[in-house]
């Protein structure tokens, strides 16, 4: 097989990229290791930034999303048994969308299949140096046979455990990593949300998060140990712990409960791979970086990467100039590090440190007091939470490296 852009992985990064390229008249082949049923059922993210929704809307991927989504204009931070609302929309003019990642994946798979262009399921790329070579080739398995896909460029959208990043010589990459001493146990429950908005709770027994998917389905998370065994968490224990950590000094508060539809433990970690490009191989989304879940940023970062990549690829085919492709990694990493910082801050501020260090605990309290007591602090938080502006290379201005607000020492007085 031959195509212009070989896309490895049909998660949000790969599917959005395929769609953006198709709209620009650029051909691609998408290879996905799993079955269609598997990726359409995988329960993951649920919070979409304003800019992510704008992009999906602009390119015709958001019809069902607009019919079924929940729009959120604030969230609650709960500590010491008291909830504090952060009015995100008042502070930024932007709002958030709650819509399950697997629903978005369903919409994007349907849109791709409608174009008639290839999206092959159960087609794992097998890796190897040719992925990162001067004449890119993807080797993959399909219908019991080994096959090859020749391309002009490869987009490694194959997530954290994919084959693209390992194809780049380790001497060419710097990998920045940070592990957190806790994980999340997440459940999806058939129970109406207990609140109209998300609740991020800091509690002496550990962090808890109340989120949702629809007016009938709640999504809840608990901080647990990194090596936590799910077998030790029968449903009743999960609910008891959620009741404790989400409790507040309000007799009217009540956590609604129902059958548990899904239960899993997810590690929290930060990883950044730099650069995100080697020759004609471009990494995007989780293949290049992981953020801890607390800021709800992973899916949104994946979409931000491929918006930059699609524009750069289009420019290269149109002009033969590699300037935007060369700038891909730099452009994306500016956002990635800002998001990484925000996610690290939220994670460190809201989770209980396993060693119970009293100094860190007081710093957390100071941070929460400032967040919930200062409009300026709340606004900085809200700007990050609703999402930094999407940057497309070649467009005017660069909001990720703005002019310093106080000027610089080079500016005339
Ligand atoms: P993936 O979605 O991982 O897709 C990669 C694809 O590549 C997969 O389908 C995989 O099967 C395929 N693949 C792998 N290897 C191969 C191969 N060799 N050949 C072919 N295909 C291959 N993010 C948010 O923005 N908001 C949230 O609220 C949020 N909450 C989360 C909650 C949880 C519990 C978890 C686990 C994650 C959450 N995230 C959230 C993160 C978000 O889900 C990911 O960042 C997002 O899926 C990244 O998209 P991606 O396309 O880069 O990677
Ligand atoms: C959800 C996940 C997150 O990581 C988060 O910060 C907020 C909500 C969710 O799955 O709904």
Which-ligand-closest: CA of 297? 1
How far does the centroid of ligand 1 lie from the alpha carbon of residue 286, in Å?
A: 6
How far does the centroid of ligand 1 lie from the alpha carbon of residue 11, in Å?
A: 6
Residue nearest to atom 11 of ligand 2 (CA): 46
CB 294 less than 6 A from any atom of ligand 2: yes
Kindly report, residue by residue over 342-356, the tens digit of the pLDDT.
999 999 999 999 988
Query: What does the CA dihedral 9, 10, 14, 18 come to, rounded to 10 degrees?
Result: 120
Give the angle 345-349-351 at the CA atoms, nearest 5°: 120
Q: How far apart are CA 71 and CA 163, in angstroms?
A: 36
pLDDT value, residue 405: 74
Residues of the chain with pLDDT under 50: none
Contact at 8 Å (CB) between 215 and 263?
Answer: no
Strand partners, 269: 179
Establish how many alpha carbons lie within 13 A of residue 275's alpha carbon, considering only the half-sphere containing its beta carbon.
14
pLDDT value, residue 412: 64
Which-ligand-closest: CA of 141? 1
Report CA-CA distances (Å) from 135 to 103, 131, 152, 218, 275: 36, 8, 7, 48, 20
Ligand 1 binding residues, C-beta < 6 A: 8-14, 31-34, 39, 44-47, 101, 124-125, 157-159, 162-163, 186, 266, 285-286, 293, 296-300, 302
pLDDT value, residue 339: 98
Residue nearest to atom 5 of ligand 2 (CA): 296
How far does the centroid of ligand 2 lie from the alpha carbon of residue 211, in Å?
A: 6
How far does the centroid of ligand 2 lie from the alpha carbon of residue 12, in Å?
A: 16
How far does the centroid of ligand 2 lie from the alpha carbon of residue 101, in Å?
A: 11
pLDDT value, residue 258: 98
Pocket test for ligand 1, best of 299, 300, 303 (most atoms within 8 A of CB): 299
């Amino acid at each position: 097989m031959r195509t212009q852009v070989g896309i490895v992985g049909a998660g949000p990064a790969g599917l959005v990229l395929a769609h953006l390229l198709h709209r620009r008249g650029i051909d691609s082949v998408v290879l996905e290791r799993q079955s269609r049923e598997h990726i359409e059922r995988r329960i993951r993210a649920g919070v979409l930034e304003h800019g992510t929704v704008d992009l999906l809307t602009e390119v015709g991927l958001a019809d069902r999303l607009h019919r079924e989504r929940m729009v959120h204009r604030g969230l609650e931070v709960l500590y010491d048994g008291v909830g504090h609302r952060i009015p995100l929309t008042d502070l930024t003019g932007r709002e958030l969308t709650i819509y399950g990642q697997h629903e978005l994946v369903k919409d994007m798979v349907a849109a791709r299949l409608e174009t008639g262009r290839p999206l092959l399921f159960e087609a794992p790329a097998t890796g190897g140096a040719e992925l990162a070579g001067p004449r890119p080739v993807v080797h993959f398995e399909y219908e019991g046979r080994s096959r090859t896909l020749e391309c002009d460029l490869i987009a490694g959208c194959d997530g954290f455990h994919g084959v693209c990043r390992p194809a780049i010589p380790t001497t060419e990459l710097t990998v920045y990593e940070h592990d957190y001493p806790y994980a999340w146990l997440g459940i999806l429950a058939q129970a109406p949300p207990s609140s109209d908005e998300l609740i991020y709770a800091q509690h002496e027994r550990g962090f808890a998060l109340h989120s949702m998917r629809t007016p009938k389905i709640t999504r809840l998370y608990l901080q647990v140990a990194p090596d936590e065994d799910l077998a030790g968490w029968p449903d009743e224990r999960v609910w008891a712990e959620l009741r404790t950590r989400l409790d507040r000094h309000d007799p009217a508060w009540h956590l609604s409960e129902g059958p548990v539809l899904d239960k899993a433990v997810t590690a929290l970690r930060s990883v950044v791979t730099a650069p995100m490009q080697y020759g004609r191989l471009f990494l995007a989304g989780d293949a290049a970086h992981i953020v801890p879940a607390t800021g709800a940023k992973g899916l949104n970062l994946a979409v931000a990467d491929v918006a930059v990549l699609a524009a750069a690829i289009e420019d290269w085919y149109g002009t033969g100039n590699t300037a935007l492709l060369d700038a891909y990694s730099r452009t994306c990493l500016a956002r990635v590090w800002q998001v990484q910082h925000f996610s690290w801050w939220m994670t460190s501020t809201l989770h209980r440190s396993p060693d119970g260090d009293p100094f860190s605990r007081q710093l957390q309290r100071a941070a929460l007091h400032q967040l919930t007591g200062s409009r300026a602090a709340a606004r900085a938080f809200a700007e990050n939470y609703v999402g930094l502006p999407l940057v497309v290379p070649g467009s005017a201005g660069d909001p990720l490296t703005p002019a310093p607000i106080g000027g610089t020492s080079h500016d005339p007085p």
